[in-house]
A and B are shown apart, each in its own frame.
Chain A
Amino acid sequence: MTDSILKVTALNKSFGGIHATRDLHLEVTRGDIHAIIGPNGAGKTTLISQLSGQLKPSSGSIEFERKDITRLTTAKRARSGLARSFQITSVVMPLTLLENVMLAVQGTSGHSFRFWKPVKQDQQMVSAAMNSLTEVGLQDRADKIAAEVSHGEQRQLEVAMALAMKPRLLLLDEPMAGMGVEESQHMVDILKKLKEKCTILLIEHDMDAVFKLADQLSVLVDGHIIASNTVENIRANQEVQRAYLGEQHA
């Protein structure tokens, strides 16, 4: 039996009349990069937000490492090893890259009801944060303000922050959104390295990147997963060709 780290059962989410997630089933195997593809508006971000706790599902259940987390808050899920990055860059813009990553380290290492000692004097935290910045190649940019670095670097910062949380499952929502060819290639290399550290659920539009990285592939259309299999099998699947791949690779 394979070791499943995440199991989603009969998940539904509606916004008023819009049924953004419908009867969604998904199982992610530990150690994999599991990619989810699907057209715009298919409900990919909505799914990630339910997994990480920002959105409450209308019905259904989410199990992480065999524990039901459907009702846990975002913060609790984060502390129990589930980290996410955002499709639309979401960092603390006026702070430096290092300060941002240090927040990520801080959030998952004990409580923060400590009122006196400056965090910058905490060598362990600083070096943990620097390690994460190094992993995404931002070590030389540590003291730059997040708002003032390039879009590509902000995307890398997103990943560095998620990484600094030492997650066992990393949810990445289109990490390459808006990136140029070179930057995308760089991100592919970063993600390949990350695979050694944790399981990754990857949402990505860039099909070349997906084929390079993913072990498993799920296709999400209209809030429902219509196929979930190894990358090779999905490529051969007729229905998928029609619903999604056909549009792009016609």
Chain B
Amino acid sequence: MLPASNSGRVYAVLLILLGMAPFITSWIDQPFYLDLLSRALILAIAASSLNLILGYGGMVSLGHAAYLGIGAYCVGIPAYYDIYNGWIHLGLTIVVSASFAFLTGLIILRTKAVYFIMITLAFSQMVYFTFVSLEEYGGDDGLVIYLRSEFPSWLSMEGATALYYWIFGALVLTLLVIYRLVYSRFGRVIVGSKFNEERMQSLGFNTYRYRLTCYVISGVLCGIAGMLLGNFTSFISPEMMGWTRSGELIFMVVMGGASSFFGPLIGTSAFVFLEQYLPEIMKTINPSWHEYWHLPFGVLLVCLVLFGKGGIHGWLSRFDKDGDVK
């Protein structure tokens, strides 16, 4: 099902390596890398969900981190009441993020361009401040989740390796869903509407309904990433849905290459590892510099946007003849 191109092969090898990661990290005795990878893959699910609307649908949301928060609190709040059943957590995540995406989407999808960005930002800030004001659930200080979501033993999240495979499985499923979606009848309407919505309407498509549905699917996928993030960090706070988080998700998508299938995974991995190691690299240059890692990071991003058209994926696929998927 994957393109038989050079970049396609690179990605296939990457997925296989990711599948073996727990063995590799325990073999080289570096469990910390598994943690780093777990975080990267969770964010890759979130970034891929954003890529579905941003890259394929042309809907630039600056509020997608709200769904990370919603998913995490759908674990945290039940856990606060000693409800640890994983199916309840997952079901709640899906229902709440779908409802939120649908209700806000009704309004958001009537707007375009800058207004679209501003209104997604506004709605996510509303969620942010709602959770800040919920004193019962820790408000600003957040919540500690003492136990992970409970699933039957074959699906258990207990232990770093089991949780990693949960995350890896969720990522593979998300990528599969997006891949099938983009080339289906539904996906064609979404891609067509990105480039020429007026024409799509005159071809008989009620583009509003299709785009709204796409927005809801994206929100649910990102909500599930949030549910995993809650389990992974075991400490959640409104900070995880702040607008800077949403901005970072956009960075990850753009860095990897928007509207490319594996772009968000690559961009997210690059982001997480730079976030981890840039401060240390800065420190070796000058011990007092480690706080300024955002500076070279920013410069790197600007260069990618200016010179690396199509992000890291775009750079990789220069080695292909068949070009990009649309």
How far, in whole Å, are A78 and B204 apart by their CA atoms in the complex? 5
Nearest A residue (CB) for B205? A107
Measured between beta carbons, the chain B residues less than 8 angstroms from A93 are 195-196
**Could you tell me if B200 and A103 are in contact, using CB atoms closer than 8 angstroms?**
yes
Measured between beta carbons, the chain B residues less than 8 angstroms from A118 are 180, 183-184
Nearest A residue (CB) for B187? A115
Is the C-beta of A142 less than 8 angstroms from some C-beta in chain B? Answer: no
Q: Which of B180, B185, B186 has the most CB of A within 10 A?
A: B185
Is the C-beta of A120 less than 8 angstroms from some C-beta in chain B? Answer: yes
Nearest B residue (CB) for A104? B203
Is the C-beta of A11 less than 8 angstroms from some C-beta in chain B? Answer: no
Is the C-beta of B153 less than 8 angstroms from some C-beta in chain A? Answer: no
Using a CB-CB cutoff of 8 Å, which residues 22-62 of chain A contact chain B? 52-54
**Could you tell me if A161 and B203 are in contact, using CB atoms closer than 8 angstroms?**
yes
Measured between beta carbons, the chain A residues less than 8 angstroms from B213 are 113
Is the C-beta of A249 less than 8 angstroms from some C-beta in chain B? Answer: no
Binary interface encoding of chain B residues 156-197 relative to chain A, with 1 for a CB under 8 A from any of its CBs, else 0: 000000000000000000000000110111111101100110
What are 11 A-B residue pairs whose CB atoms fall within 8 Å in the complex?
A54-B201, A78-B203, A84-B202, A108-B204, A112-B186, A113-B213, A115-B180, A115-B187, A118-B180, A119-B185, A165-B204
B154 to chain A, nearest CB (A): 26
Measured between beta carbons, the chain A residues less than 8 angstroms from B199 are 86, 90-92
Is the C-beta of A106 less than 8 angstroms from some C-beta in chain B? Answer: yes
How far, in whole Å, are A143 and B7 apart by their CA atoms in the complex? 22
Is the C-beta of A73 less than 8 angstroms from some C-beta in chain B? Answer: yes
**Could you tell me if B202 and A103 are in contact, using CB atoms closer than 8 angstroms?**
no
Q: 3 nearest interchain CB pairs?
A: A107-B204, A107-B203, A78-B204
How far, in whole Å, are A137 and B195 apart by their CA atoms in the complex? 25
**Could you tell me if B185 and A112 are in contact, using CB atoms closer than 8 angstroms?**
yes
Q: Which of A86, A106, A120 has the most CB of B within 10 A?
A: A106
Is the C-beta of A221 less than 8 angstroms from some C-beta in chain B? Answer: no
**Could you tell me if A106 and B326 are in contact, using CB atoms closer than 8 angstroms?**
no
A116 to chain B, nearest CB (A): 5
* Given A73-B206, A79-B204, A107-B204, A54 and B198 contact (CB-CB distance below 8 Å): yes
Is the C-beta of A95 less than 8 angstroms from some C-beta in chain B? Answer: yes
Binary interface encoding of chain B residues 204-220 relative to chain A, with 1 for a CB under 8 A from any of its CBs, else 0: 11110010010000000
**Could you tell me if A119 and B326 are in contact, using CB atoms closer than 8 angstroms?**
no
Is the C-beta of A114 less than 8 angstroms from some C-beta in chain B? Answer: yes
How far, in whole Å, are A165 and B201 apart by their CA atoms in the complex? 12
Measured between beta carbons, the chain B residues less than 8 angstroms from A228 are none
A76 to chain B, nearest CB (A): 8
How far, in whole Å, are A29 and B1 apart by their CA atoms in the complex? 51
Is the C-beta of A242 less than 8 angstroms from some C-beta in chain B? Answer: no
B55 to chain A, nearest CB (A): 13
Measured between beta carbons, the chain A residues less than 8 angstroms from B181 are 115-116
Measured between beta carbons, the chain B residues less than 8 angstroms from A94 are 195, 326
Is the C-beta of A102 less than 8 angstroms from some C-beta in chain B? Answer: yes
**Could you tell me if A103 and B203 are in contact, using CB atoms closer than 8 angstroms?**
yes
Measured between beta carbons, the chain A residues less than 8 angstroms from B186 are 112-115
